């Protein structure tokens, strides 16, 4: 098994609190993350995420700090997926004339999946941050 981590940021011309309110809506990711087909919230705060590539996972928030504007979610263990572990963290920080959003995803996959995981995670993060750039920077 190998751990793959990708972390990127985007600067936004928007109030950090309004961006935090938007991205911290765990059930609304399909509205702005282009790789997600749909999200269905489950009992206990878990959600089923269906991806446009045809697969789905069940994940959950494991930590959230509204004052620091950060939260982490992870894949629920024991699912039939090549992802043995997955953690993702969003952080919104005040910066410049607006804010910066950091998005980091770490997965553990079989060794032979490392290049595919690296490319997939990078594309997912780029897509999500790109949509935030369009929404808040009017691009």
What pLDDT is attached to residue 138?
A: 75
Please compute Rg for the chain using Cα positions. Answer: 15
Does 113 score more than 80 pLDDT? Answer: yes
Question: pLDDT (tens digit, 9 = 90+) per residue, 41-55?
Answer: 998 889 999 999 889
Does 58 score more than 60 pLDDT? Answer: yes
Q: Which domains does the chain have, with CATH numbers?
A: 2-20+59-137 (3.30.530.20)
Give the pLDDT band (50/70/90) at residue 130.
very high
* Average pLDDT taken over every residue of the chain: 94
What pLDDT is attached to residue 118?
A: 96
- pTM exceeds 0.85 for this model: yes
Question: pLDDT (tens digit, 9 = 90+) per residue, 22-48?
Answer: 999 999 999 999 999 999 999 888 999
Sheet holding 2-12, edge to edge: 2-12, 98-109, 85-95, 70-75, 56-65, 47-51, 36-41
Give the pLDDT band (50/70/90) at residue 139.
low
Taking CB atoms within 8 Å and a gap of at least 24, the contacts of 22-28 are: 22/135, 23/90, 23/92, 23/101, 23/132, 24/64, 24/66, 24/69, 24/71, 24/90, 26/61, 26/71, 26/73
Question: pLDDT (tens digit, 9 = 90+) per residue, 69-110?
Answer: 999 999 999 998 888 899 999 999 998 789 999 999 999 999
């Amino acid at each position: 098994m190998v751990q793959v981590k990708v972390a990127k940021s985007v600067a936004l011309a928007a109030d950090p609190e309004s961006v935090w309110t938007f991205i911290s809506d765990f059930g609304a990711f399909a509205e702005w993350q282009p790789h997600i087909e749909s999200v269905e919230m489950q009992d206990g705060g878990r959600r089923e995420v269906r991806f446009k590539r045809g697969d789905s996972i069940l994940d959950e928030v494991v930590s959230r700090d509204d004052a620091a504007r950060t939260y982490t979610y992870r894949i629920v263990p024991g699912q039939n997926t090549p992802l043995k572990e997955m953690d993702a963290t969003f952080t919104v920080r005040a910066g410049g004339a607006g804010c910066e959003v950091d998005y980091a995803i770490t997965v553990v996959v079989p060794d032979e999946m490392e290049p595919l995981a690296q490319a997939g995670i990078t594309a997912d993060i780029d897509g999500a941050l790109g949509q935030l750039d369009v929404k808040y920077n009017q691009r």
